[in-house]
Amino acid sequence: MANKDNLIDGKAIAEQIHAETREEIERLARVGTRPGLVFVRVGDDPASQVYVGMKEKMCRRLGIHTETHALPASASEAELLSLIDRLNRDETFHGILVQAPLPKGIDASKVYSAIRPEKDVDGFHPINMGKLLLGDPSGFAPCTPAGIVELLVRSGIEIRGKEAVILGRGNIVGKPMAALLMQKAPRADATVTVCHSRTRNIAAHCRRADILIAAMGVARFVKADMVKEGAVVVDVGVNRVDDPQAQRGYRLVGDVDFEAVRPKAARITPNPGGVGPMTIAMLMKNTVRAAQALARR
């Protein structure tokens, strides 16, 4: 029988962080600084519109100044880079977020590298990635992996000395997640294995994990027989599966077969309601950190 108390409530933990962020925003207001976050979206991808809308809504709720620049799908890389250059020089905004995915013909790595590192609140600039690997806390860590660490720590889950297995080696979650967990630092010190599409016998690696983080983008990939009894399972995936009974004809599921895995897990994130709210919470927190750094100058 499933343990009814083993859910890691990402919404509740995100609210804790939002409350802390709001306090920092109020402190900044007393010294005449209002954090600003600008979004850039290229094309009409429906999911991107939804994601940006959610982030805008949270900015308004917390008191962060926000704007969105929407470029047509036909926009060139040069046009996008020109906009970023202008926003880099706009002191109204302490953070710049370019929403993925970008249309074909635009080099995402060139775009992320064009954002000033101190405004790169998404944490994808090579300088911020380098600082993460070096254990330099002055940079910005990507929001989803940073949010997962907060989920674990604030849920009272010990990371130090544990076997952590990450499914997926992407630049947004997998690689930075591994870097965060392996740091010689508080809230880290795990032994980390990263699995990917060329890993042999993934199930055997998963069964070793004290902490299993699924970020592959494969619907319900993690089955119950892949999970060790008493493991902590974090589901990052967002996958669309057909469902004729759903209003839109599909529904979103994670990378974990949740109902099957939950009875074996000591703790598990729901999906939705687990990692997603934390990503937004860390984005808001990074934006306030960027504003604080400017206020100290």
Q: Say which CATH number the domain at 183 has.
A: 3.40.50.720
Q: Which helix (H) or strand (E) holds 250?
A: strand 250-253
Domain check: are 170 and 214 in the same one? Answer: yes
User: Would residue 99 show up in a list of annotated catalytic residues for this protein?
Assistant: yes
Q: Which of 90, 104, 120, 122 is catalytic?
A: 122
Average pLDDT over residues 170-189: 96
Contact 196, 243 (CB under 8 A): no
Contact 31, 295 (CB under 8 A): yes
Domain check: are 151 and 266 in the same one? Answer: yes
For residue 96, the domain's CATH number is 3.40.50.10860
Strands across the sheet with 65-71, in order? 65-71, 36-42, 95-98
Average pLDDT over residues 14-31: 97
Domain check: are 103 and 173 in the same one? Answer: no
Q: Which of 99, 175, 210, 228 is catalytic?
A: 99
| Predicted confidence (pLDDT) at residue 1 exceeds the cutoff of 60 | no
Residue whose C-alpha is closest to residue 145's, from 237, 9, 275: 275
| Predicted confidence (pLDDT) at residue 36 exceeds the cutoff of 60 | yes
Domain check: are 163 and 259 in the same one? Answer: yes
In this predicted structure, what is the pLDDT of residue 247? 85
User: Would residue 55 show up in a list of annotated catalytic residues for this protein?
Assistant: yes
Domain check: are 181 and 254 in the same one? Answer: yes
Q: Which of 55, 119, 228, 285 is catalytic?
A: 55
Strand segments (E) across 16-76: 36-42, 65-71
The domain in which residue 229 lies consists of 143-276
Lookup: tokens for 113: 């590298």
Average pLDDT over residues 40-66: 95
